[in-house]
Amino acid sequence: MYTHHYMIKPLVPIKLLAWVFFPLLLHISCGNDSQSEATGEQAHTVLSVEVQERDLSDIRTVSAPVVAYQRIYITARTAGQVLEVNFEEGQQVNRGQIMARLDTRKQQSQLRNAMATLREAEQHFARQKVLYEEAVITPAEFENATLTLEQAKSEVEFWQTEVELGEIRAPINAMVAAKLVEPGTSLNANDRLFTIEDHNLLVVRPALSEMDVAQLKEGQKLELLFDVIGETPYPGTIRRIFPSADNITRLFTVEVEIHQDKIPYPLRPGYLARARFTIDARANVLAAPPEAIAERDEKSVIFIIKDDNTIEKRHVETGTERDGWTEIVSGVKKGEKLATGNLNRLNDGEKVKVSGSFRRYGFRD
C-alpha cells in the first residue's frame, strides 16, 4: 500500500506575508504598552497605614500579695500559765484591751511581801528622820535608813511590773490575725500569743530589678488590679523604695500604698494584686509601624500617600520602638497615610497602587 504525500503551495509567498503583517504587529504591541502606562498597571503595589497616637510607655506588671503595713506579734513578757484568752481570729481589738491573762499568783504574793517591807521601811525612816533632826543619830545612820527605804520602793515597783506583765494588752487598734494559745498553755518569756494587723493601711510589696527601680520615685502614681475584683484598675501610690536589694534575688522591694477608699469592696491581706509600674512614660505619641519607615542615606524616611495615589518622600525623626510601633518625633501629622511594603523601590512623586490596609497583630492595643 502506497501513501502519497501532497504539498500545497501557498497562494502568497511567506516573505510577502511577513512584510505585510510585521508593521501591524509592531503597532499593536506599542499600543498595548502605551495603554499599560496610561492605566498605571506598572505602579508599585503597597499597603497603607495611618499615623496614630499611641501609648508607647514601658510598663512592668508585677504580682504580689496584699499585706498589712503594720503587723505586730504579741509575745509573753513573763513566764506563766494562760488563765484566759479573750480574743480570736477576725475580731477587732482596741488599744489597751486585755487580750489574755497569765497566772500571776506567785508574783502577787511577792508584791504583798514587798509592800509590807516598804511600810516597815517607811516607819523606820520616819523615826530616824526625827532622831537625826534632834542630832541623836549620826548622818551615816540616817543615810542608811534612806537607802533602805529606796530599796523597798524599788522592790515594790519590780513586783508590780511582774503582775502587770501577766495581763497581755493590745498595743494598737488592730485586727486579730492569729491566735496561738489556749487557756492552760504554759508559756516562757517571749513565746508568741497573737498576731495582730492594722487593716487601715494595706500595701503591696512587689520586687523589681535595679534598672526598673532607677526610673521610679516615691509618690509616683500607678495602677493596681486585684484578681478577686476583676480587670478594673484602681489607684496606688509608691510609698517607699527599700534602700538595698535582696541578697539572693538581687531585686529591690517597692512598697505601694492601696487607696482603699477608691475600692468598692473590702480588701483582705493575702489577696493577690498586680501592680503596673510605668518605667518610661510615652503616652499619646505619634507612631507608625517600622515597616513604614525606610533608611536612605543613613536617615529615616517615610512615603506619604496623597489623595491621587502619588507619594511624597519625607525625612522624619524617630524615637522609641515598642510593641511593634515606632515613635515619630517630628515630620508627620496624625492621620497621614504612609506606604508600607516595597519601600526600597519607591521614589518621590511616583504613583502607587494601594492594595489594602496594613494591620499589626500580636501586640497590645
Give the DSSP letter string of 200-256: EEEEE--EE-HHHHTT--TT-EEEEEETTT-S--EEEEEEEE-SS--TTT--EEEEE
Among 217, 177, 216, 226, smallest CA distance to 66 is for 226
Write down the pLDDT at residue 329: 93
Specify the CATH architecture of the domain 105-165.
Orthogonal Bundle (1.10)
Residue 302 near residue 293 (C-beta atoms within 8 A): yes
Gyration radius of the chain's alpha carbons = 46
As a whole number of angstroms, the distance between CA 322 and CA 290 comes to 10
**All CATH 2.40.420.20 domain ranges in the chain, comma separated:** 44-54+284-357
What 3-state class would DSSP assign to 339?
strand
The verdict on domain 60-67+200-280 having CATH code 2.130.10.10 is no
Phi/psi at 278 (5° precision): -90, 105
Please tell me what DSSP assigns to residue 137: S
Phi/psi at 244 (5° precision): -140, 160
pLDDT in tens, 43-72: 889 999 999 999 898 999 999 999 999 999
pTM: 0.66
Among 276, 258, 281, 272, smallest CA distance to 62 is for 276
**Spans in the chain with pLDDT lower than 70:** 1-41, 361-365
**All CATH 1.10.287.470 domain ranges in the chain, comma separated:** 105-165
As a whole number of angstroms, the distance between CA 98 and CA 104 comes to 15
**All CATH 2.40.30.170 domain ranges in the chain, comma separated:** 60-67+200-280
Classify domain 44-54+284-357 at the CATH topology level.
2.40.420
Q: At what angle do helices 105-133 and 139-165 cross, to 10 degrees?
A: 160
Among 224, 216, 323, 217, smallest CA distance to 280 is for 216
**DSSP string covering 12-67, please?**
S-HHHHHHHHHHHHHHHHHHHHHHHHHHTTTSEEEEEEE-EEE---EEEEEEEEEE
**CB half-sphere exposure, 136, CA atoms < 13 A:** 7
Residue 295 near residue 311 (C-beta atoms within 8 A): no
